[in-house]
Structure 1
Amino acid sequence: MSKNTHRLDEKASGVYIIAATPFGDDGELDLYSIDSLTDFYLEKGVTGFTILGMMGEAPKLSESETTTVMERILKRVNGRVPVVVGVSHSSNRHVQRLSNEAMSLGAAGVMVAPAPNLKTDEQVHGYYAGIANLLGKDIPICLQDFPQSTAVHTSVAVIHRLIDEFPQVVMLKHEDFPGMRKLTRIRKESEAEGRRRISILVGNGGLFLPQEMLRGADGAMTGFAYPEMLVQVCKLFADGKADQAEDLFNIYLPLLRHEFQYGIGLALRKETLRRRGAIRSAFVRKPGPALDGTDHEELTRLIARQDALLG
């Protein structure tokens, strides 16, 4: 098994790619494509991986398939970069079991979204506190703040409280929408109050990446099919070249925005990855979207325009 040579910590930055889960045209796991996709992401220079996220179709996997995907990717990565495993589930015991399994296989930490139907700050805090206590101090935690999917609002006050109470909370995946003022508040209030600074990586397909980097984000945790753009943009920001970063981002923006569409975005992402040779099939497991002829033509045109602009 892969050695756990990385531990997720507050200094994490760069691009943690949200890995797609490849299936064959028959809907079964494609182990060959898991390997080729892992190699593709590494070749494009990603800082880390996040596997079994919502765009990784984790809820559509059986328990044995979940283990297979974890084992396969962690073995292929072989300690070269940190791997965060999504462990969100309605059962706390399942979160605990999956977290322990992930860490034993060499994961750097786990990502947890709140359970559905939490309505108040106390409920959200209580949920995360229960998970943190259940997992213990040795498992680094990334909080996933994605209310568009969970319908749970995690307030700035709750995030601060969790940071203060649980040293294992080392990262926030920021996906509130609109949420840039939230990002600014977390950074400014933390600094003003002398709070521990945690890593903030942003999602939402990277749609607002330049603005979020200028507001204090440390990088991206998303799955755009051109990860090299995310890598280059984050590096340019780190080098103090914000205008160059945004100019590069803008070339890719039409395709990134297209891939961000709810409902069909994952099918577009997988088809683009297939066209780039990263996976053999663009199959999205049911229930899930499939592209029609017009969708394919549209994607072809957007890719051609992007290629022309890149020269």
Structure 2
Amino acid sequence: MKDIAESQERLKGLFNIAVTPFADDGTIDFSALEENLGRVIDLGYDGILIGGTYGEFPTMRLEERAELFGRVMELVGDRLPVMLCTADSDPRAVGELTELASSLGGAPMVTAPYVSEVTEDQIVAFFQAMAPRSRTGIVIYNAPGIGITLSPGVLERLAEIDGIVALKQGDLSPTAIDVLASRLNGRLRLFCASDLAFLGPLSAGFDGLSSTNSCAFPELIRAAYAALAADEAARAGELQRLWYPFRAMARRHGQPQSTKAAMNLRGFRGGRVRPPLRDLDAGARQELAPVVAAIAEASAGIGRSNAA
């Protein structure tokens, strides 16, 4: 993407949140990452998100993140829009990564600065300082998982900043979704941040979905999203319920370790997680195996049905 206008046009649809596959020695397995990205590209995903919270960016050095951005953009090129997570606790690092992401043709995705007792005015000032550093605009990532939840009121203030093009919304409470869909629709591209509960936000008018579990179940999540986009809400709900047993396990064992374990069970090269996370133990993997097998079979059935 070359500028803000192109970002606003292309940032929509179903985005795969790529996990970062780490090898046994802790390095990034770029061969596995290329294979995993190729799978979702071939299935017709609309975009990719790299190095997010489930991509384990807090466990990476800045040099690793820069290399990750460069390798992915070299691979993907301009075929799909790519969000590149440039979040960090240090605003200097955010600025450097944001400039890099933009120069590579990606859309920088920025969280609020996660320091204690930061005020709303300070958060707004932070985004005002970051926005001019990207020629492709900035995606706000409202990420409660890092300890700060941006209220709809703050998000409305941020939407007024030149260069803010999209919002990846992690607070999926019904009230927040209602306010944002009603007041920001058409001003920013609105993304549901989680595939665990996306039917409501997309039905309310959100523009897209970012999905981590599409790394493990890309066919099924693609089919559910397509059904909802085609105004087949009942069918979308039916497909979403097919993988509820995995969602229940993921909520117990955590992410992205559950997704990586499911990928590995399917032969998808999910790799390992980095500390402080831990890979699922043998007992959890044994419990997960029949769940993944059943969902894989259901996904294969969907593929055969679509081919027919």
TM above 0.5, yes or no, is yes
**Distance across 2 between alignment mates of 1:48 and 1:309:** 24
Separation in 1, partners of 2:84, 2:159: 20
Amino acid of the structure 1 residue aligned with 2:168: K
Q: Which of 104, 113, 116 lines up with 1:115 in the alignment?
A: 113
Is the contact between residue 10 and residue 197 of structure 1 (CA under 8 Å) also seen in structure 2?
Answer: no
In 1: Cα distance, 2:118 partner to 2:99 partner: 28
| 1:1-311 map, 5 Å | 7-9=6-8, 12-107=11-106, 109-116=107-114, 117-133=116-132, 135=133, 138-147=135-144, 149-164=145-160, 166-177=161-172, 179-190=173-184, 196-204=186-194, 206-224=195-213, 225-261=216-252, 264-279=254-269, 282-307=271-296, 309=298, 311=301
Between 166-175 and 117-126, report the one with greater CA deviation. 117-126
How far did residue 11 of structure 1 move? 5.9
User: Structure 2 CA distance, aligned partners of 1:174 and 1:19?
Assistant: 17
Secondary structure (helix, strand or coil) at the match of 2:45 reads: coil
Instruction: Please state how far the C-alpha of 1:10 moved relative to its aligned partner.
Output: 5.7
Deviations 1:169-228 (A, max 9, x none): 111111115x2221111222347xxxx431111123x11111221122222112102133
Counterpart CA distance in 2 for 1:11 and 1:28 is 32
Q: 8 Å contact 1:258–1:265 — kept in the other structure?
A: no
Distance 2:6 2:188 in 1: 14
Residues 261, 279 of structure 2: 8 Å contact kept = no
- Separation of aligned partners in 1, 2:187 and 2:251: 29
Alpha-carbon distance in structure 2 between the residues aligned to 1:36 and 1:11: 24
Deviations 1:26-80, CA, capped at 9 Å, x for gaps: 2122121121112122123211111111111112222222222112211111221
Residues 77-106 of structure 1 deviation map (CA, whole Å, 9 limit, x = unaligned)? 122101110001122221111111122223
Q: Secondary structure at the match of 1:244?
A: helix
Structure-2 change in CA distance of 1:75 and 1:47 (3 Å): same
Instruction: Point out where structure 2 has 5 or more consecutive residues left out of the alignment.
Output: 302-308
Q: 1:76 and 1:56, CA in 2 relative to 1: closer, same or farther beyond 3 A?
A: same
SS in structure 1 opposite 2:243?
helix
Cα separation, partners in 2 of 1:28 and 1:214, compared to 1, 3 Å: same
Structure 1 unaligned spans of 5+: none
Query: What CA distance in whole angstroms lies between the structure 2 residues aligned with 1:256 and 1:76?
Result: 31
Alignment TM-score, normalising by the size of structure 2: 0.87
Residue 118 of structure 1: CA displacement? 4.4
Q: How big is the shift at 1:264? A: 3.2
Equivalenced residue count is: 296
- One-letter amino acid of the structure 2 residue matched with residue 54 of structure 1: T
Give deviations 1:239-279, integer Å, cap 9, x for gaps: 11111111111112221342344x63222211222233332
Q: Which amino acid aligns with 1:151?
A: G
Alpha-carbon distance in 2 for matches of 1:210, 1:67: 34
2: distance between equivalents of 1:76 and 1:277? 22
Pair 1:267–1:150, CA change in 2 (3 A):
closer
8 Å CA contact 2:89–2:113 kept in 1: the answer is yes
Q: What is the CA–CA distance in structure 2 between the aligned matches of 1:10 and 1:208, rounded to whole Å?
A: 25
Identity score, percent: 24
The separation in 2 between residues aligned to 1:160 and 1:181, in whole angstroms, is 15
Greater CA deviation, 298-307 or 18-27? 298-307
Between the aligned partners of 1:64 and 1:309, the Cα distance in structure 2 is: 41
Secondary structure of the structure 2 residue equivalent to 1:171: strand
3-state secondary structure, aligned to 1:111: strand
Match of 2:305 in 1: none
Q: Structure 1 CA distance, aligned partners of 2:221 and 2:298?
A: 17
Alpha carbons of 1:306 and 1:31: their partners in 2 closer, same or farther (altered >3 Å)?
A: closer
Give the deviation of 1:305 after TM superposition: 3.1
